[in-house]
Amino acid sequence: MPELLTPLSANRAAGGWQHRFAHRSAVLDCDMKFAVYLPPQATAHHKVPVLYWLSGLTCTEENFIQKAGAQRMAAQLGLAIVCPDTSPRGDDVANDPGYDLGQGAGFYLNATQAPWAAHYRMHDYVVHELPALVEAELPILPVRGIAGHSMGGHGALTLALRNPGRYQSISAFAPICHPSATPWGQKAFRAYLGDHPDAWREWDASLLLAQARDPVPTLVDQGDADEFLARELQPEALENAARSAGYPLTLRRHAGYDHSYYFIASLIDEHLQHHARALIK
């Protein structure tokens, strides 16, 4: 394996390989782990497009690869999947007793406030450092989609909207759509970005989408039995912003589904096919 990556595990899956690696992140100033599924089409002589998956609060790089059941369809499509951790980690990295702030809750932004600013630059890590690493060291093309769940859905939407042209497809399960107006988002934004709401606007998917000028095919699925729906997720804000901007958003609501990985596993094949239509020519 490449010298910049320390192999942690490798498992045969659906004809390809499910890997986990560790590496030193200069952007986050700590050691990081990530998972990558390489489909059977990925070889030393053939690179494949990639989907970046961003997980939600309390998760690591392992939740999606163990629970979503994505490997079989990714293998059929010839699509790699890269899953970063949800925050910087380590004894020297700032943390908080709450599950919704600190380690496990990086919110995919660049913190500006102490003590978080020293390590919490997940936007730059996911958008720049990690892709440069995997595209240089693994058989992965710079042809990218991005997806995520809950906090990771917020991350997928905001990272794509903030970086026009970098991602060719977007999807999300139960994303935090309007974090400036929700308890989870307000707590994270106040800690990481400061008290002034103007600093929050550039990290709010609904506010960014209302001004978007780079239409990217976007699929969002939301369960109507999700316990966080009304208080934390607010998909109607994203839907209204897309309507006013003429943005190509497909937002589907599903009866009886909650916030769990059962929901993700039920629809992940459709999300992978959504990305493949944009990424695989």
| CATH number where 119 lies | 3.40.50.1820
The per-residue pLDDT for 213 is 85
3-class SS string, 118-150: HCCEHHHHHHHHHHHHHHHHCCEEEEEEEEEEC
- The answer to the question of residue 257 being in a domain is yes
Half-sphere exposure of 101 (CA within 13 A, CB side): 19
- Indicate whether this model's pTM tops 0.85: yes
Q: What's the chain's average pLDDT?
A: 97
Q: Kindly tell me if the per-residue pLDDT of 176 is higher than 90.
A: yes
- Which tokens in the block code for residue 163? 């970086």
User: How distant, in Å, are the alpha carbons of 39, 151, 183 from that of 228?
Assistant: 34, 12, 11
Q: Which residues contact 98 (CB under 8 A, 6 or more apart)?
A: 105, 187
Strands ordered across the beta sheet of 6-13: 6-13, 16-25, 30-38, 80-84, 48-54, 140-149, 169-173, 218-223, 249-254
Catalytic residues: 150, 226, 259
Note whether residue 111 is domain-resident: yes
Residue-wise pLDDT for 79-133, tens only, equals: 999 999 999 999 999 999 999 999 999 999 999 999 999 999 999 999 999 999 9
Q: Which H/E stretch holds residue 206?
A: helix 205-209
pLDDT tens column, 193-252: 999 999 999 999 999 999 998 899 999 999 999 999 999 999 999 999 999 999 999 999
Which residues span the domain enclosing 15? 6-279
Check residue 167 and give its pLDDT: 98
Query: Rounded to whole angstroms, how far apart are CA atoms 260 and 67?
Result: 10
Q: In this structure, is residue 61 part of a structural domain?
A: yes
Q: Name the band, by pLDDT with cuts 50, 70 and 90, for residue 146.
A: very high
* Rounded CA separation 106/58 (Å): 10
Q: Which of 3-7, 30-34, 62-66, 264-268 has the lowest mean pLDDT?
A: 3-7
Q: Is the pLDDT of residue 1 over 90?
A: no
Q: How many domains does the chain have?
A: 1
Residue indicated by tokens 């390590």: 119
The dihedral of CA 59, 166, 194, 27: what is its sign?
positive
Residue 280: alpha-carbon gap to chain centroid = 20
CA–CA dist 193, 116 (Å, integer):
9
| Residue 177, in any domain of the structure | yes
For residue 126, what are its two tokens? Answer: 């996911």
Structural domain contains residue 105: yes
Specify the pLDDT at position 2.
53
Task: Give the pLDDT confidence score for residue 89 in this predicted structure.
Answer: 98
Q: Is residue 1 part of a domain?
A: no
